[in-house]
Structure 1
Amino acid sequence: MGELRIHSVLVTGANRGIGLEFVQRFLGMPTPPKWVFAGCRDPKGQRAQELQNLASKHPNLVIVPLEVSNPASIKAAAATVEKHLGGSGLNLLINNAGILKINSLANETLENMTEIYTTNTIGPLLMGQAFLPLLKKAAQGSPGSALSCSKAAIVNISSIGGSITSQFAWDMIQIVSYRCSKAALNMLTKCQSLGYREHGILCVALHPGWVQTDMGNAAGHQPPVTVDASVQGMLKVLSSLSEKDTGTFLDWEGKVLPW
């Protein structure tokens, strides 16, 4: 397994849960990235307090206002990141921001479906488009032609709930809009892998496990995976990805999941 050595990374939904843990892990690496960009809706709000504390101790951490359901916010975030990078590219984009609303098939609504698709599926699409120039620049500035997360990559945090084959935990929680949004995110990942390969960008969908976060606890059951174990596992997976893995759907332990 290679070591994940990157110059810059952007994590969306970085003020809590998996996103916040990613940020902490990147900052704590033996050779941390020169730039860690943490995207969150309200950087000055109470829910971003831990991020603010980290930023006061780590000058390489930049908190970026970012609402992934808002194209103008995404465009502004891309401009902020580009300004800090000062001519270099963005190695790693982790589309982690996501929302879930508990609803049965019978009670699912247009409003829910629209809101959840906008954040969970359309957001990562627009993020990929907005940050493509910076990802391409990172790929062009990396030696060798082989794809890797140390060169340039888009990582979409998906869910086994989006697997059409597995139907994971249907009897426990239907979450139809969330499942549909993640199935669509998996297809987006495949499309990105096909469209961005020529630019030297690796694209992968990752299931973080059923994790002990606010979202993971929403079903009313204790999730089996800690945030720490999930992110540690995902970083290990990211460090091992290569050309053959672009466009795949993997879990936090590196296992291939069924579409």
Structure 2
Amino acid sequence: MNSILITGCNRGLGLGLVKALNKLPVPPQHLFTTCRNLEQATDLRNLAKEHSNIHIVEIDLKNFDEYDRLINRIAEVTNDCGLNVLFNNAGIAPKSVRLGATRHQDLVDTLQTNTVVPVMLTKACLPLLKKASEVNADECMSVKRAAIINMSSVLGSIKSNTDGGLLPYRASKAALNAITKSMSIDLAPQKILCVSIHPGWVRTDMGGSNAPLDVSTSTTQIIETICQLNESHNGGFYQYDGAELPW
């Protein structure tokens, strides 16, 4: 892929994805990364000093008025090549677990960050994604042409839900999965691939210390998986290692 935009790269999975991409035999020529606070994104800034392909954009993705600035920055750097991949990674998980402890604001904030932001950012990036698909018309539907990767979770799977609870997070990821499916249908004529990815239970601030996977293992396999996606995967829900998951 020539270019990729990844949201939420100051830590955790986002930072891990940046590292994994730059370990590829041929890393992306342009790796656009977002963070809310540049001053606090020390690890990301240090990576950018080591790798000239990393472009950092400080932005609060809940401020939709800022999207034009982000899109213009990508367009300026990539010239007429568009954007090959949008990876909607940024997300939050509230502490409330059961219905009785769920607060109104938990639902609003989680749906805003995990569901609304990916939709609105995808909408803003669509001209760049369509451009990349046109420029790479000789490629099959894949990340080499144009793709939207939505970081979901198995907790968004309705069929796999046997434990209940986690209402705001489950709802936001189930909604994101529904959106991924709709996008895959809407954007199929433009040959833009759309999939949801479950990163596994990973040891991050969100996943906690008891998680069985480390960030490097998850993100390395995520990159391997998305690089193998083609038209047959469009509109699907996959685990970090490529295993298909139920909706």
Tell me by how many angstroms 1:252 deviates: 0.7
Work out the CA distance in 2 between the residues paired with 1:59 and 1:255.
34
Identity in percent: 39
Number of residues of Structure 1 aligned to a counterpart in Structure 2: 246
After TM superposition, list the pairs within 5 Å mapping 1:179-258 onto structure 2. 179-217=170-208, 222-258=210-246
Match of 2:143 among 140, 149, 164: 149
CA contact (8 A) 1:68 1:124 kept: no
Amino acid in the other structure paired with 1:225: L
User: What RMSD in Å do the two structures reach over aligned CA positions?
Assistant: 1.3
After TM superposition, list the pairs within 5 Å mapping 1:80-229 onto structure 2. 80-103=73-96, 104-144=98-138, 146-167=140-161, 169-170=163-164, 174-217=165-208, 222-229=210-217
Q: Tell me the SS of whatever aligns to 1:181.
A: helix
CA contact (8 A) 1:213 1:227 kept: yes
**TM-score (norm: length of structure 1):** 0.91
**What runs of 5+ residues in structure 1 fail to find an aligned partner?**
1-5
Amino acid in the other structure paired with 1:136: K
Deviates more, 1:126-135 or 1:61-70: 61-70
Q: Tell me the SS of whatever aligns to 2:49.
A: helix
Q: Tell me the SS of whatever aligns to 1:182.
A: helix
Work out the CA distance in 1 between the residues paired with 2:28 and 2:234.
23
* Residues 136-163 of structure 1 deviation map (CA, whole Å, 9 limit, x = unaligned): 1111011426311111000000000011
* Residues 210-240 of structure 1 deviation map (CA, whole Å, 9 limit, x = unaligned): 00100001xxx60011111111111111111
**What runs of 5+ residues in structure 2 fail to find an aligned partner?**
none
Q: Tell me the SS of whatever aligns to 2:194.
A: strand
In the alignment, what sits opposite 1:54? 47
In the alignment, what sits opposite 1:27? 22
Work out the CA distance in 2 between the residues paired with 1:169 and 1:150.
38
Q: Which of structure 1's runs of 4+ aligned residues deviate more than 3 A?
A: none
Amino acid in the other structure paired with 1:52: R
